[in-house]
Structure 1
Amino acid sequence: MLFNSISYLLFSPLVFTIYWLLKKKLNIQNLFILIASYFFYACWDYRFLVLIIFSTLVDFFVGIQLNKQKTPGKRRYLLAISIFTNLSLLGFFKYYNFFIDSWVEFTSIIGLNINFNTLNIILPVGISFYTFQTLSYTIDIYKQRIKPTKDLIAFSAFVSFFPQLVAGPIERASSLLPQFKKMRNFNFIQARSGIELIIWGLFQKIVIADNCATYVNTIFTNYENLNSLSLILGAVYFAFQIYGDFAGYSNIAIGSARLLGFDLMQNFNYPYFSKNLGEFWRRWHISLSTWFRDYVFIPLGGSRLSRNKTIRNISIVFLISGLWHGANWTFIFWGAIHALFYIPLLFVKKNTHHSRSSISVHFKDFLKISGTFITICLAWIFFRSPTINTSFDYLKRMFTNMNFQLQYLTIERYNIEMMILIILFVGIEWFSQQKEQPIYGKYRLLKTTSILFFILVFGVYSEHSDFIYFQF
C-alpha cells in the first residue's frame, strides 16, 4: 500500500477515526495499531508477515532474558542470538544472490570454474529498516541503556508501526516505545502539523520526485546518445528524485504518526544546503546515519583512537552503508566515494561542525554548498547506474562530449520544463530552512492550497509511483 495511492487515502482516515474512538483504552488502541500495521504490511505480501512476527518474538524474549541475566558470557550469548537471527534473515533475503554471484565471478577470474545456484528470492519490503530497529532494542538493553518491555502488544506495535515500517525513519526503542505505553490524547495542533507534513511530502514525491524520474529514466537509459548538458542534468535530476522520493516518504510517515499522537524523529534537514559532506550526512537520512554512528562507528572506537584507526572506522561505516542500500557493487562504490571525500575533513577538523543555514549566505558559503552538491551528484551517478562500468562510461561522456545545447528528449519534453520546476523547489526550501517544512509559518492556508494545486496538476503527468527506498 503506497502512501501516494487511493488505497492509503481510504485506509488512513479509517484507521484515524477508529483509533481515536478507542482513545481511553490504551491496550486496545495498541492492539488496533498492531492489526492495522499487519494489514498494511500484508498488502505488500502477506507471506512476509511471518518474518516480521518471528523477528519481533525473538527480540522480545531476548530482551527480557538479557535483563534477567547477570552473567556477562550468557548476556553476550543472548545478544548474539538477536544479532545472528536478524542479520541472517537480512543477509539471506537481500544478499544471498549477490554474494554467490560475486564469489563465482571471483573464482572465474583466478581460473577456477565453480558453479553455485542462485535462488529466485523476493526481497521483503522494509526488512532493512525493521531489522535495524529491533537490533537497536536488544543492543540498548545489553548496554543497559534501556529496560525491556513485558508488553508484547506494545513491542509488536513498535516494531511494525505502519507509518514508518517499510522505509523509516529507523526509530530507537528509547524514543518510540515509551509512546506506546502512555495515554495519547488528540491534539489539534499536532494533527494539523501532521496533515501539513503529509501534504508537503506528497508534493516532494508526486511533483518533484516522480516528474524527475521520467527524465532520469530516459537520460540514464539513452546516455550514449545524449550530450554533456543532458547528462549533467540527468545527475542533477536524480539527486532531486531520490531526495524528493525519500524525504517525501519520511514526511508522510512523520505526519501520519502525528495524526495518531506519535512523534517520529526528523529524517531530512535540507541536506543539499550543506557546506561539506560531514554536514550532509548530519542532514541526510538522519535516522540511518545516527544508527551507524551509535552501533558501528562508536563501538569500533569512533574517533577516540589514532587517526589511522579513525579513518578505518569511517571507511567501514561508509562501505557498510553502501552495502545496506543494495546488493550491488555500485552501492559499495558509492559508499567508498563518500568515505574518500569525507576523510579529508578529519584533517581540517570540519567534520563535526553543523550550523543551520540561514536565508542570507556569503559567497564563500555559496561556493562550499555548490561544491558539496556537485560532489554528491557525481556520486549519485554510481548509485543510479546498473554497473560500475556504466557509471564510468556515463561520466566519461559527460566530461568529453562538451555539447551544451538543450535537447528535446524522447519523452516529448524539453529539459527546460524540469529545470524551472527544480529551481522553484530549491527556492521554496531555501526560504524555509528555519522551519521543519515550508507550509509552517504565515499564510498556512494559502500555502497549503497552492501546494495541493501543484499536486493535482502535476499528478496528472506523473508516471512513477513506487518509492525508491522500498527496494532497500
Structure 2
Amino acid sequence: MLFNSVEYLVFLPVVFILYWYLNSKALVARNVLLLLSSYFFYGWWDWRFLLLILLSTVVDYFCGIYIEKGNTKKLKLIFLWLSISTNLGILIFFKYFGFFIESWISLLNSLGYQAVSYWTMNIVLPVGISFYTFQTLSYTIDVYKRKIPAEKDFIAFSVFVSFFPQLVAGPIERAKSLLSQIKKRKNFKYSQGVSGLRLILWGFFKKIVIADSLAPHVDRIFSNYSNLHGGILFLGVIYFAFQIYCDFSGYSDIAIGTAKLFGINLMVNFRFPYFSRNISEFWRRWHISLTTWFRDYLYIPLGGSKISKINSVRNVFIVFAVSGLWHGANWTFLMWGVTHAVFYLPFFLTKKNSRFSKIVAWERYLPTIKEVLQIITTFFIICLGWIFFRSETISDAFRYIERMVFDFHIPYSYRSGIEYVVIIVILDWLLRKDENGDLSVLDEINRIFRWVIYLFFGFWVMSSFNTYEAPFIYFQF
C-alpha cells in the first residue's frame, strides 16, 4: 500500500482510532492490532511475500533467544550465523541472483565462450526487503554483543520487524529504540499527534508537489539524453537530485509522522543534506539510518580507523561499495558508491571528515561566500554521483557526462521545473535549524499564522494529488 493513495488515507485513520480505542493497559491487544495492520499494509501489494517477513521474524526471534542462552561462544556464533545466513540468503537470492548470473554470462561471452543463460529467471523483488532485513540483522548482532537482551514477546518482536510506517523504506531502526517503545504502555499526547500530522503534511508536500512534479522532466531528459543539449542534461541531473531527495525524505517524514500518531518516535533520516559543505557532512545528513548501520555493523567490525591507514582506506571503499550495491543489483550503483568514496577519501585522510556538526549558518540568516562556494561544490559532486545512480548502464552515465560538458543552451520548454527546485531550497533553508526532524521550529510562529500555513500547504497537496499513485523511488531497493 502506498502512502500517497486513497486506500492509505482510509487505512490510517481506521487503525489510529482502533489503536487508541483499546484500553491503554491492553498492550498486547494494541500490538496485535499493529501487527495485523502491518501485515495488511504490506500484503496489499502482494500477500505471498508476507511469508518472507514471517520467516525472518521466526528465525531471528529464536536465534536471539538461543544466542542469549548459549553456554559457549561457539554455540552463540552458530545461531548468529544462522540468522545472518538466512537473512542475507533471502536478500541475495531475490535481489542479486539474476545480477550475478547475468554478469557471469557476460564475462564468459566477452572471453569467447558462448554461455547460455539456463539459470536466469524473472525474480520479483519484494518491496522493502533491504530495509527489514537490515533491521532484523541488527537485532541478532546486538543480542550477540550483549547490547540488548533477547526479546521473549513474539508479538512485540513481530511488530518490531514489520511496523508498517517504516517497513518498506525505513528509517532502519534499532531494537534498543523501537522495540522498547513497542513494549511500553502509552497514552495519547495531543502535542505528539500534532507533530505527527505536521510531518505527514510536509512529507506529502515534498513527495506529491515537488518530487512527482519533477519526475516527468527527469524521465524525459534521461531517456533522451543522446538527443539533447548539454545544458538540458545539466538541468536534468539537478532535477533528479531534488526529485530523489524530496521523494525519499518525503517518505521518511510521512513514516516518522505516522509513527508519532501511535506514540512512537523513529530516528531522523535526513537533516537538509544539500546544505552540506563537504561530502563527509553530506553522508551525516543523508539516509542517516543506513549510514549509521554500515558504520556500526560493517565499518567498525572491519577495524574502522583504528588500524593501519591502508586498511582504513580499504574499509572506507568497502563500506561505500556495499552501500552502492545495497541500493540495487547494477554496476551503476557500485560506481555511485565508489565515486562517493573517492571524494570522501581526502577528508578522511586529513581527518576533516568530522567537521561541521551544526547546519550551515546556524546562528545567522545567510551563509558566508565561502560557505556558499562549499555548498555549491559539494552539490555538484553529489550530482555527478546521481548521474550514475539514475542511468541504466555505466556507459550511459559516461555518455551523459560527456554530452553534458558541451553546449549549455537550455530551451525555454525545459525550464518549467526550476520553480520546484527554488521552492524546496527556500523552504529547507527556512527550516534548516530543525535538527530534531519534527518541524518544531514552526511552534515559534503565531498560532493563527501557523494554521494558515497548514491550510495553504494542505490545499496545495490536494490540488496536486493525482489519481495515478506514483511509487516512491526507494521502494525498488
Give TM class, smaller chain.
over 0.9
Counting only pairs closer than 5 Å after superposition, residues 34-113 of structure 1 correspond to structure 2 as: 34-113=35-114
Residue matched to 1:15: 15
Q: Please give the secondary structure, in 1, of the residue aligned with 2:403.
A: helix
Contact 1:230–1:407 (8 Å) recurs in 2:
no
Counting only pairs closer than 5 Å after superposition, residues 37-436 of structure 1 correspond to structure 2 as: 37-116=38-117, 117-353=119-355, 354-358=357-361, 359-400=365-406, 402-408=407-413, 414-415=414-415, 417-435=416-434, 436=437
Contact 2:2–2:469 (8 Å) recurs in 1:
no
After superposition, give the CA deviation of every residue in 1:164-197 in whole Å (9 maximum; x if it has no partner). Answer: 0000000000110011111011000001000000
Residue matched to 2:461: 455
Q: From the superposition, tell whether residues 245 and 383 of structure 1 become closer, same or farther in structure 2 (CA, over 3 Å).
A: same
Gaps of 5+ in 2: none
After superposition, give the CA deviation of every residue in 1:283-319 in whole Å (9 maximum; x if it has no partner). Answer: 0000000000000000000011111111100000000
Contact 1:214–1:464 (8 Å) recurs in 2:
no
Contact 1:210–1:463 (8 Å) recurs in 2:
no
Residue matched to 2:34: 33
Q: Please give the secondary structure, in 2, of the residue aligned with 1:343.
A: helix
Look up the equivalent residue of 1:447 and give its one-letter code.
I
Contact 2:4–2:469 (8 Å) recurs in 1:
no
Q: Please give the secondary structure, in 2, of the residue aligned with 1:282.
A: helix
Structure-2 separation of matches of 1:57 and 1:19: 25
Look up the equivalent residue of 1:239 and give its one-letter code.
A
Contact 1:213–1:464 (8 Å) recurs in 2:
no
Query: Which of 227-236 and 107-116 deviates more?
Result: 107-116
Instruction: Output the TM-score relative to the length of structure 2.
Output: 0.95
Residue matched to 2:475: 470
Look up the equivalent residue of 2:444 and give its one-letter code.
G
The 4+ residue runs of structure 1 with deviation greater than 4 A are: none
Q: From the superposition, tell whether residues 282 and 440 of structure 1 become closer, same or farther in structure 2 (CA, over 3 Å).
A: farther
Structure-2 separation of matches of 1:15 and 1:149: 25
Contact 1:170–1:287 (8 Å) recurs in 2:
yes
Structure-1 separation of matches of 2:75 and 2:45: 38
Structure-2 separation of matches of 1:151 and 1:444: 42
Q: Please give the secondary structure, in 1, of the residue aligned with 2:20.
A: helix
Contact 1:205–1:249 (8 Å) recurs in 2:
yes
Look up the equivalent residue of 1:389 and give its one-letter code.
S
Structure-2 separation of matches of 1:174 and 1:468: 28
Structure-1 separation of matches of 2:297 and 2:219: 36
Q: From the superposition, tell whether residues 66 and 126 of structure 1 become closer, same or farther in structure 2 (CA, over 3 Å).
A: same
Contact 1:208–1:421 (8 Å) recurs in 2:
yes
Q: Please give the secondary structure, in 2, of the residue aligned with 1:357.
A: coil
Structure-2 separation of matches of 1:347 and 1:314: 11
Give, in angstroms, the shift of residue 107 of structure 1. Answer: 1.5
Q: From the superposition, tell whether residues 395 and 64 of structure 1 become closer, same or farther in structure 2 (CA, over 3 Å).
A: same
Give, in angstroms, the shift of residue 152 of structure 1. Answer: 0.1
Query: Which of 69-78 and 104-113 deviates more?
Result: 104-113
Give, in angstroms, the shift of residue 24 of structure 1. Answer: 2.8
Give, in angstroms, the shift of residue 407 of structure 1. Answer: 3.9
Structure-2 separation of matches of 1:454 and 1:396: 39
Look up the equivalent residue of 1:469 and give its one-letter code.
Y
Give, in angstroms, the shift of residue 463 of structure 1. Answer: 6.0
Instruction: Output the TM-score relative to the length of structure 1.
Output: 0.96
Give, in angstroms, the shift of residue 465 of structure 1. Answer: 1.1
Structure-2 separation of matches of 1:347 and 1:132: 29
Query: Which of 436-445 and 276-285 deviates more?
Result: 436-445
Structure-2 separation of matches of 1:326 and 1:128: 9
Contact 2:217–2:236 (8 Å) recurs in 1:
yes
Structure-2 separation of matches of 1:306 and 1:446: 57
Residue 451 of structure 2 is aligned to residue 445 of structure 1: yes
Structure-1 separation of matches of 2:324 and 2:424: 28
Q: Please give the secondary structure, in 2, of the residue aligned with 1:431.
A: helix
Structure-2 separation of matches of 1:196 and 1:231: 35
Q: Please give the secondary structure, in 2, of the residue aligned with 1:396.
A: helix
Structure-1 separation of matches of 2:15 and 2:181: 18
Contact 2:232–2:408 (8 Å) recurs in 1:
no
Query: Which of 67-76 and 164-173 deviates more?
Result: 67-76
Q: From the superposition, tell whether residues 231 and 439 of structure 1 become closer, same or farther in structure 2 (CA, over 3 Å).
A: farther
Contact 2:209–2:464 (8 Å) recurs in 1:
yes
Structure-2 separation of matches of 1:119 and 1:294: 35
Structure-2 separation of matches of 1:68 and 1:378: 50
Q: How many residues align?
A: 464
Q: From the superposition, tell whether residues 451 and 285 of structure 1 become closer, same or farther in structure 2 (CA, over 3 Å).
A: same
Q: Please give the secondary structure, in 1, of the residue aligned with 2:112.
A: coil
Structure-2 separation of matches of 1:440 and 1:305: 47
> Percentage identity across aligned positions?
52
Give, in angstroms, the shift of residue 446 of structure 1. Answer: 1.9
Q: From the superposition, tell whether residues 181 and 372 of structure 1 become closer, same or farther in structure 2 (CA, over 3 Å).
A: same
Contact 1:281–1:289 (8 Å) recurs in 2:
yes
After superposition, give the CA deviation of every residue in 1:48-76 in whole Å (9 maximum; x if it has no partner). Answer: 01110011000000000011113011111
Query: Which of 418-427 and 104-113 deviates more?
Result: 104-113
Structure-1 separation of matches of 2:346 and 2:329: 28
Residue matched to 1:411: none
